Structure 1
Amino acid sequence: MTRTHREYIALCAAEGVTLLRIETHRKHCRLCFEAGFVTASASPSDRRNLKNLRSAIRRLHR
């Protein structure tokens, strides 16, 4: 498990949503929830990555 995956798991726990699984592809991860999925970067190159991901998770679970 990479550092990025641990950050994604912690973010989902902080938002109170249940993360079913993380599917890793070449450059992206797919975070799967009961309501659907969100695509995120597999590398920490984007400094706003976690903020953008948090907003995408909130939009999905409205």
Structure 2
Amino acid sequence: MIKNAMELQLEIEVIGILEKVLALPEEERERWLAGQSLKANTEARVRSLINAASDTGEFLEIPVKLSMR
């Protein structure tokens, strides 16, 4: 849960970076992140979300097939 304006600003920044990173091919992400000169807490949060996204595997990428029976 976001507690204050500073945390909110961090999360907004992190989401913007995360969108850019996830749009890159996986093999380019590390190099791109290393070239961004991010603050330690920002980079740590981005990396934790990248790891969480990769832990889901294909769970969110495979569409659910619904049966209307």
Both proteins in one fold, TM over 0.5: no
Shorter-normalised TM range:
0.3 to 0.5
* TM-score, scaled relative to structure 1: 0.36
Higher relative contact order (CA 8 A, sep 6+): 2
The structure with the larger Rg is 2
Question: Which structure carries more helix by proportion?
Answer: 2
* TM-score, scaled relative to structure 2: 0.33
